[in-house]
Structure 1
């Protein structure tokens, strides 16, 4: 042990380097089980962001199923998910480059089973009895009109764009076959709803020729969100509904709906992507499930015979992508000190085996800032929630009397949530001497439907207020320097960031990562899935055109008085590059310090290692120039106009 070196906040030398964050690191995604084999997606920054399908065989050997350059990633809804399915050792997947469906087995080259077309496919299930896939199909044939979504079948033998099974609504998801292949369940919804606003759960019989008959709506509606329909091994249909304000698990059996376990807790999440799974059947009598109560996540076993919920104690704080089979479950987990990990849990012994880790590089505890869950007062006498990370590096301490700069994080979605899991991107800042507060502002998931709906009609107001009040809360307690407050966010979080910088005067700097500056531009240019999202978040257009104008930072750059750095993918189809470029030009004209870092080949969110690394370094460099500290890192300078 040695005495800490005294150095200003922000200037501390940290082992959590950009190279460490991107080197030998992956993202873990969709999981599928096929007999004794386990399959999953690995998102690999070192391979230009490729999404590879990986298999762990019964003997423990791990191998890639999809060779380079294939990338298992669908563009349905642009956000994708549900990009592959496996049956009897054969994997069927959507390839990112051409959006065709392919068939592949271990050691073989992928073979296309759909033609080159303007079709996209996602959320597949294998109908082995009829030799086909059933999936969501998105038709972009007519470029002059909105894409057409449907449930369709595709022959496993290939050669066809598929046959439509259900159409007529704006959106479909979650086609799921009953164990005997006789019935199909699915979700559907229409504009202006998003799936967390209201969806319908339908069930139909399957005829011998594969067409549907006797379709009936089981649950859901315009104000009830249904999530993850799943058939039990005994043929009962389970689903998650928020009909009581909380996403709880229900069962449809013999024409009746019954709650399995009612609790003020969330067993579901917003369906931003396909194939999400928060519960799975270990048997007809046992469900392995995730839930969150008061912002804290849990793993548990739910007895389907009596509704008893029994916690499964593991040293992790978050759980995702749950799959199960007889005797074991597979899922991803993380803790405040450990990055995303793929686990196989022996259900009888309650013993977990690590199958894969997102990063092989470990950060010593001496450099990890432990998140502290806080509840703070906000507008209208309400409370909001956040995780506070104090600056922490065992090698340094700040000069006496100095307070740390604060970075306020505004998550995307905005219907998403931040969790208390290890995040190397946050530790990058705290180990250099920044305080960080990660805000679950009103509108976030995990606190019930009423909390989500605080943002209804109030986007750009409630989220901004909560981020501002989170910063004030720490400043008032002497935990942050009120003169060095910054806010950053991506996508919807970027919108909150730009609104906070424009319509409030508390922040001294900010960083927008592919953020929204012009609500009218977003309304005009974005993709189908989110094209009516703003009806609920702001108001229907054109009736509420005044609100769209008033809450767009691009229209009020005269109120902006602090430096901003922008990061943007030039192939982003969700938030187009012009959203950032117009703001940059406005700040240049105002003679405010501004920087713009754009990336060829990147979409909505950065996947390539070199770009992730550059973004971290550029943002640190930007704050160092604005807040007046010298970073310990050797960083290639960023061009900052007007500095």
Structure 2
């Protein structure tokens, strides 16, 4: 055991190690009896591949580089693939990131290569596809089509469409059959009833975001494959329906927050009314928090401030949760027969593919009289400790008190290294992490980027500030017209609370965040004197510019609820924007930006830096070719982590070994 100052502890968690383990599996599904999912490849340019688990348990990548299974619909994408089992082998369709075309592939056919099903459009962002559903009996794929009608980011329409599997639309846009009329700005992919006679999907329109209000639409499926008599059966401007599906008995299932919590409903009747979430913010088309089984049971991802994987009996309202170490499950589920597959993680393990069986003999309890549990096992992307797990942080779930006595939820990761302690009279530096969204939350799971800092003697505090999800609509609505106020106040309250209780060094507090978290970071540096420095990643910096044409269509009117209508409160946009108040920023900062980012474009960073020029504030700007919104390449992540650590070292007088010095300019 060595006694060394905080921030100077030697750590086995190098930036390259953290980068190699960045990302998580997504979008599970079944192709026959096989479980499939997408998986990141940070060291291969950040692409995502499609992985299958064969009957013998062997995992294999279905698509080699450069294939990149990822959609750009609403820029955040969504479910990019679907598959079906056939006697001659599986058929899968997927979206390739490079051209956004929909492709068909038969991986078991010798010499087969993916063949395009959709054309390329030269207009604007072209044609994009997401949330596909194979209808092999009709020779079609039903999915969401996003079509640009001009060069502007909001020149776009979205419809439910049918793409022929024979490739006849590969060069012919006219061969794509539109199933809806485009009257709604946003739609999800349709879900067919068990008898194939009805289809259900979600829709919403500007200025609402899907967590504000959505409509649940049901239509009749005619014999010729058209949708008729579409009508709204639930939802509205102030009711968010996060997902819809059909039970095997033909009843309609959906997750609505009409009571203030996303709860599950069957034909408009509550199934399991609780003050917890059975849904979440629909950032990606095709996210799935519940999946009905043939038995009538329903697999659910649910919880309050965290999520568990459970089996819900809709007749009794009882939920039996999966037994195992996982404390967080992602919004993706697949079912086949009695099997359920999801993606779970914990503070000691990264996200991995988990399967549980719902056969009666698979349900039991850990001890006499205990709550029933469902037996689960890892079947893919299994967590493998790259270092001794003793080096991982030991997080704490905390609740802090903010202005006017409001509760603030946070995860605290104290400095931790099994081989080091600090001198007894020293308090550690802490970095406040502000998550993106902002309508999202930070899950309590193993993150080697956090461990990169905590293992060196730097604490991290993830703040689920007011406006975050997982705590009901009232908590979520705290940020309405208060973005740049409540989030800033809540982060500051946690930082100062840690200092006041003697956990953190008041003189060595920093803040960092990406996207909306980058906004909160920059706004905090401009409006408070809490932090000694900050790390700002792919941020929003100029509200008026971002809200009047600089961002993509999905979020183009997000600020109407977060800040207020621009036409009515233009002064509020100027008053809260860090770009308008660069003169207030005196703390050193690191600014990181992807040059291909269409959500938070580089132009905002460039204007901000122009206003900082010559002010004498030490800072650095790193821009990355080929990176968009959220960094995916391993070499980028290495540069980001090492630069961030160097910033803290220089500002706080730390001495981390082996870290390149970041050059700061004024």
Structure 1 counterpart SS, 2:474: helix
The alpha-carbon deviation at position 218 of structure 1 amounts to 1.2
Counterpart check, 1:307 vs 2:313 = no
> Which whole-Å CA distance do the structure 2 matches of 1:225 and 1:487 have between them?
32
Q: Which residue of 1 aligns with 2:300?
A: 289
RMSD: 1.4
Q: State the distance in 1 between where 2:343 and 2:310 align.
A: 14
Tell me, yes or no, if structure 1 residue 204 matches structure 2 residue 219.
yes
Please tell me whether residue 532 in structure 1 is matched to residue 557 in structure 2: yes
Secondary structure of the 1:436 match is strand
Query: 2:164 maps to what in 1?
Result: 155
Are the equivalent residues in 2 in contact too, given 1:11–1:433 (CA < 8 A)? yes
Aligned 8 A contact 1:284 1:304 in 2: no
Q: Bigger CA drift: 338-347 or 268-277?
A: 338-347
Could you tell me which residue of structure 2 aligns to residue 41 of structure 1? Answer: 38
Quote how far apart the aligned CAs of 1:400 are. Answer: 2.2
Is residue 288 of structure 2 the alignment partner of residue 244 of structure 1?
A: no
Corresponding residue number in structure 2 for 1:489: 513
Of 148-157 and 506-515, the range deviating more from structure 2: 148-157
After superposition, the C-alpha distances for 1:22-61 in whole angstroms (9 at most, x for unaligned) are 2366521111112201110011101101111111122222
Correspondences of 1:14-413 after superposition (within 5 Å): 14-23=11-20, 27-88=24-85, 89-107=90-108, 108-117=112-121, 118-144=126-152, 146-160=155-169, 161=173, 162-166=176-180, 167-252=182-267, 257-293=268-304, 295-320=305-330, 321-348=332-359, 349=362, 350-357=374-381, 360-413=384-437
Deviation at 1:358, TM superposition (A): 6.4
The counterpart of 1:593, out of the listed 615, 618, 627, is 618
Report deviation, 1:129: 3.4
Match of 2:523, SS state, is helix
* CA-CA distance at 1:21 after TM superposition: 1.4
3-state DSSP of counterpart to 1:174: coil
Q: 1:463 aligns with which of 469, 473, 487?
A: 487
- Distance of 2:386 and 2:290 partners within structure 1: 30
What's the counterpart of residue 365 of structure 2?
A: none
Q: Report if the CA contact (8 A) 1:52-1:66 is conserved.
A: yes
Alpha-carbon contact 2:186-2:205 (below 8 Å) kept: yes
Question: Quick one: distance in 2 between partners of 1:483 and 1:611?
Answer: 30
Query: Taking structure 1 as reference, are residues 169 and 62 closer, same or farther at Cα in structure 2, changes over 3 Å only?
Result: same
Determine the C-alpha separation between the residues in 2 that align with 1:246 and 1:478.
Answer: 36
The answer as to whether partners of 2:392 and 2:451 remain within 8 angstroms in 1 is yes
In 1, Cα distance between the equivalents of 2:403 and 2:61? 51
Q: Point out the more displaced range, 60-69 or 407-416.
A: 60-69
Query: Secondary structure in 2 aligned to 1:580?
Result: helix
1:6 aligns to what? 3
Change (3 A) 1:25 1:516: closer
1:495-535, Cα deviation, whole Å (9 max, x unpaired) = 00000000011111000000111111211210000000000
Preserved CA contact (<8 Å) 2:53 2:380: no
Matches within 5 A, 1:498-513: 498-513=522-537
Indicate the larger mover: 277-286 or 487-496. 277-286
Q: Report the Cα offset of residue 488 of structure 1.
A: 0.1
Alignment partner for residue 515 of structure 1, among 533, 539, 545? Answer: 539
Which TM-score applies when normalising by structure 2? 0.93
Measured in 1, the distance between the counterparts of 2:494 and 2:641 equals 23
CA distance in 1, matches of 2:277, 2:643: 38
User: Structure 2: how far apart are the matches of 1:396 and 1:9?
Assistant: 9
Structure 2: tracts of 5 or more residues without a match: 363-373
Q: Is the 8 A contact 1:563 1:626 kept in 2?
A: yes
- Please say if residues 6 and 456 of structure 2, whose CA atoms lie closer than 8 Å, have aligned partners that are also in contact: yes
Q: For residue 587 of structure 1, report the CA deviation from its aligned partner.
A: 2.7
| Contact 2:59–2:380 (8 Å) recurs in 1 | no
Q: TM-score, normalised by structure 1?
A: 0.96
More displaced 10-residue stretch of structure 1: 50-59 or 221-230: 50-59
